[in-house]
Amino acid sequence: MREIILNRRFLSFVGNPASGRVKEFIAALGVMILALSVAVPAIATPVKISGTPMQGSVGVFAIDSTSSRTVYLANQDNPAAVELYSVPIEGGVSPTKLHPDLVSGQEVDSFAISQDGSFVVFRADFETSGIQYNLYYVPITGGVAPIKLNPDLASNRSVQEFAISQDGSWVVYIADQDTDDVLELYTITISSPGSSTRLNSGLAAGGKVESFLISNDSQYVVYLADEAADNHFELNKVAIAGGIVTRVCPVATPATGYSVGAYKISENSSLIVYILQRDSGGYVLYCYGTGYGRISQDPAAGGHVSGFQLSADSTHAVYRYQETYGGGNPYSLYEVPIWGGDRTGLSGSLVPGGSVEADFLISPDSNRVVFRADKEIDQIVELYSVPTEPVLGPGEDIDDYIVQLSAEFTGNFGDVLDVFTITPDSSRVVYRADEAVDEVAELYSALIDQANSRVKLSGTMQTKGAVSQFMEITNDSQTVVFMADKSTDQIFELYGVPVTGGTPTRLSIDPMPPDSDVLGFSLSPNSLRVVYKADQDSSGTDELYSESLATSPESSTYMLWTR
C-alpha cells in the first residue's frame, strides 16, 4: 500500500463533516483511514512526583515491578526524620506516607519492594530512636498501619540486612536477636509476623553470619558465616523454612587455611558457585550441587580467581584468572561448564603488560562474553566480544573468534571506560569511551558480534563534557537513558536516545538551572517512563520527577492509506 501524509490544512478541506466533498473524495480515491500518528517528538515535560513542600531531600528510590508506583525515602515533612513514601509513577496525586509520622531523630533506614509489587518491607527505629531497628510490612499503597515482622528484641539489639523471597512469602534477615552483638540468620513468613526461625547452626566464639542469598525458587538460603573458626568463613545451605544445615564448601579453619569469598546461586537455583580462598595463596572457583568440587585451574602454582559471572541459562561460569598471584601479573578470562569440565581461555593473546579488566559480562542469552582489556596496546583499554562456548576448528585459536567492538586506538590516548552494558535482547553493547577527544567520555553502541558496527549515541558534547557512569537500557532494548554534562560543564542532565543511534532527547527540564543536576534515575520495567532525582527546582533540594519515554503529540500529522 502507498502512504499519503496529510497535514491539518488539507484535512480541513476534505474532512469537514459539513462538506459533501468528504464522501465524494473517499469514493473517488478509495481511501480508508486506518490510523492517526505522531510526527513531531515531544518536548520533555517532567512531572514532580515527590510532592510539596519538601523540607529536606529525597534519598533512595525504586520503581515497583508493575511500573505502577515509586517508593522513596525522604525527610520531606520533617527535616530531622527520614520517612517512607509511595506515589503513582505518573504523579498527579500527593505521595502517601507508609507509616505514622516520625519524630525528629527517627528514620526509615532501608526498604525492599516485593516481586509482585504489592507490598514493602522496611527497616526503621520506630521504638528506640537511633538504637534499635526492626522490620515492618505495609501494602505499597499504604492506608493501613505497618506490621512489625520480627519478634520483640532486647534493648540495643537490631535487625541488620534483610531480603524478600521471590514468591513474596518469606523475609530473611540478620540480627543479634538471641545474643547481644552476635549476628545470626532468621526467617519469617509475611503471614505469621512475630514468629521467626533461626536458620544458622552454632557459631564459633566471635563468629557471625556475614551475608546471605535466597534462591530464585524461594526454596533455600545460602549464607556465609564463621561457624567452625573465627574469621574463616564457610558457606552453608538451609531450607528457607529452616531445618538441617549443609556445609557446601571444604572445612574452613586455621588448620585447612580455607575461607569462602564471593558466591552466587545459579538462575535455575540448582547450583552454588563460590571462590575458595587459601591462606597459602591462590583463590579457586568451586561449584556445589549434590557435592562440591573445584572447577577452575589447580592453584598449586599460586593462581588466583578474581571475580566470576554465571550465565543466565545456568550452564557456564566465566572467571578472571591470574596464573601467578600478585606482582602486577596479567589477568586472563576463562570459561568452564558450571558443573565442571574442560576450561577454555576466552581472552586470547595479550600484549606484554596487557590484562583483562574486572567488569566483564555474559549476554542475557548466555551466548557471548563482553570484556575490556589492553589486549593490543599496553595501557590502552579496548572492548571485545567472544562466544561463551567457542568451538575451534583445525588450526584455529580463540583470537580468530574475538571481535573488537570499539575503535582501533592507535595514538597515545583513547580508552573504553568502566561501566558498559548489554541490551536485554543481547543484540548490542553500549559503552563509554574517549575515542574522539582525550578524556571526553562519549557514549557508543555496537552490535555484540560485529566489528566496525559502532555508532555514537551521545551526540555533540561541549568541550569539557562527559557521559557519566549512570546509564541504563530499557527492557524492550530500544532506548538508552544516560546522564551527561552535554551542554554546560558540570551540569548533568538526563537524555534518552535510540540504542541503534539517533539524536539524543533531553528528558530532564530544559534548561537545567545553574548549580543544579540530575543525581540519579530508574527506568520503569515496562519501558514507558523514567523517574529521576534532581535539585532542579531548588539547588541542594533533591526531589523526584517522572517523564514519559514514549513520544506524545505536540502537533498532529495524519496518515491515510490507499488501496
Beta strands in 143-282 (DSSP E): 147-148, 159-164, 170-175, 184-189, 197-198, 209-214, 220-229, 232-239, 246-247, 258-265, 272-278
Residues 231-255 have pLDDT tens digits of 889 999 999 999 999 999 998 888 8
Q: Grid coordinates in use for 431?
A: 559503552
Q: Which residues contact 563 (CB under 8 A, 6 or more apart)?
A: 1, 30, 32
DSSP designation for 416? B
Considering only CA atoms, which of 327, 381, 326 is closest in space to residue 351? 381
Mean pLDDT to the nearest integer, 336-342: 90
Could you list the beta-strand ranges (E) of 405-534: 421-422, 428-433, 442-447, 455-456, 467-473, 479-488, 491-498, 505-506, 518-523, 529-534
Q: Which pLDDT score is estimated for 562?
A: 26
Which residues are paired to 197 by β-bridges? 187
Cell representation of residue 16 = 469537514
**Predicted pLDDT at 75:** 97
pLDDT of residue 531: 98
Per-residue cell: 556: 498532529
557 confidence band (pLDDT: 50, 70, 90)? very low
Confidence of residue 216 (pLDDT cuts 50, 70, 90): very high
- pTM equals 0.88
Give the pLDDT score at 368. 98
With contact defined as beta carbons under 8 Å apart, do 277 and 258 qualify?
yes
Select the more confidently predicted residue: 248 or 30: 248
Contact 157, 132 (CB under 8 A): yes
pLDDT of residue 299: 67
Residue 425 C-alpha cell reads as 535482547
- Kindly tell me if the per-residue pLDDT of 329 is higher than 80: yes
Is pLDDT of 28 > 80? Answer: no
Say which amino acid occupies 203.
L
Mean pLDDT, residues 519-527: 98
Q: What's the pLDDT tens digit per position in 414-431?
A: 799 999 999 999 999 999
Q: Cα–chain-centroid distance for residue 28? A: 57
Comparison of pLDDT for 3 and 192, the residue scoring more: 192
User: Is residue 359 a contact partner of residue 372, using CB atoms and an 8 Å limit?
Assistant: yes
**305 near 285, Cβ under 8 Å?**
yes
Tell which residue, 197, 84, 200, has the closest CA to residue 140.
84
| pLDDT mean across residues, the chain | 88
Is the pLDDT at 551 greater than 80? The verdict is no
Q: What is the reported pLDDT for 37?
A: 36
Phi, psi of 21 (to 5 degrees): -75, -15
Residues forming a β-bridge with 476? none
What mean pLDDT do residues 28-50 have? 56
465 vs 348, 413, 442, 459, 481, CA distance in Å?
35, 17, 8, 11, 17
99 in Cβ contact with 113 (< 8 Å): no
The residue-averaged pLDDT of 304-328 equals 91
Q: Range with the lowest mean pLDDT among 48-62, 306-320, 399-413?
A: 399-413
CA–CA distance, 428 with 450 (Å, rounded to integer): 9
The identity of residue 285, as a single letter, is L
Are 354 and 374 in contact by the 8 Å Cβ rule? The answer is yes
Q: Which residues pair with 534 in a beta bridge?
A: 518, 543
- pLDDT value at position 416? 94
Burial of 280 (0-12, 13-18, 19+ CB in 10 A): exposed
141-184 tens-digit pLDDT = 999 999 999 999 999 999 999 999 999 999 999 999 999 999 99
* Nine cell digits for residue 232: 574463616
Q: Cell numbers 523526584 correspond to what residue?
A: 544
How far apart, in whole angstroms, are the C-alpha atoms of residue 140 and residue 120?
6
Contact 144, 138 (CB under 8 A): yes
Closest CA relative to residue 7, chosen from 42, 39, 43: 39
pLDDT 10s digits, 54-108:
999 999 999 999 999 999 999 999 999 999 999 999 999 999 999 999 999 999 9
Grid cell listed for 62: 525504586
Structure confidence at residue 550 (pLDDT): 80
Those residues whose C-beta lies under 8 Å from the C-beta of residue 322, and which sit 6 or more positions away, are 303, 304, 306, 329, 330, 331, 332
pLDDT at residue 194, as a whole number = 96
Residue type, 324: T
What pLDDT, on the 0 to 100 scale, is given for residue 20? 46
What pLDDT shows up at residue 19? Answer: 42
Mean pLDDT within 300-310: 85
Which pLDDT score is estimated for 301? 60
All three cell numbers of 132? 534499635
Distance, in Å, from the CA atom of 213 to the CA atom of 237, rounded to the nearest integer, reads: 10
Spatial distance between the Cα atoms of 384 and 210, rounded to a whole number of angstroms: 36
Q: What percent of the chain has pLDDT over 90?
A: 75
343-386 pLDDT, tens digit each: 999 999 999 999 999 999 999 999 999 999 999 998 899 999 99
| Average pLDDT for 503-516 | 93
> Is the pLDDT reported for residue 447 higher than 80?
yes
Candidates 325, 235, 243, 214; CA nearest to 287 is: 235
What number is the average pLDDT over the span 539-557?
73
| Contact call for residues 536 and 521 (beta carbons, < 8 A) | no
pLDDT exceeds cutoff 80 at 322: yes
Instruction: Specify the pLDDT at position 33.
Output: 34
Q: Which residue has the cell 539517533?
A: 502
Per-residue pLDDT at 325: 76
pLDDT of residue 32: 36
Q: What is the C-alpha to C-alpha distance for residues 526 and 282, in angstroms, rounded to an integer?
A: 44
Helix, strand and coil in the chain, % to nearest 5? 5, 45, 50
Using the predicted structure, report yes or no on whether residue 50 has a pLDDT greater than 80.
Answer: yes
Instruction: Give percent of the chain with pLDDT exceeding 70.
Output: 89
> Cβ distance 296 to 336 under 8 Å?
yes
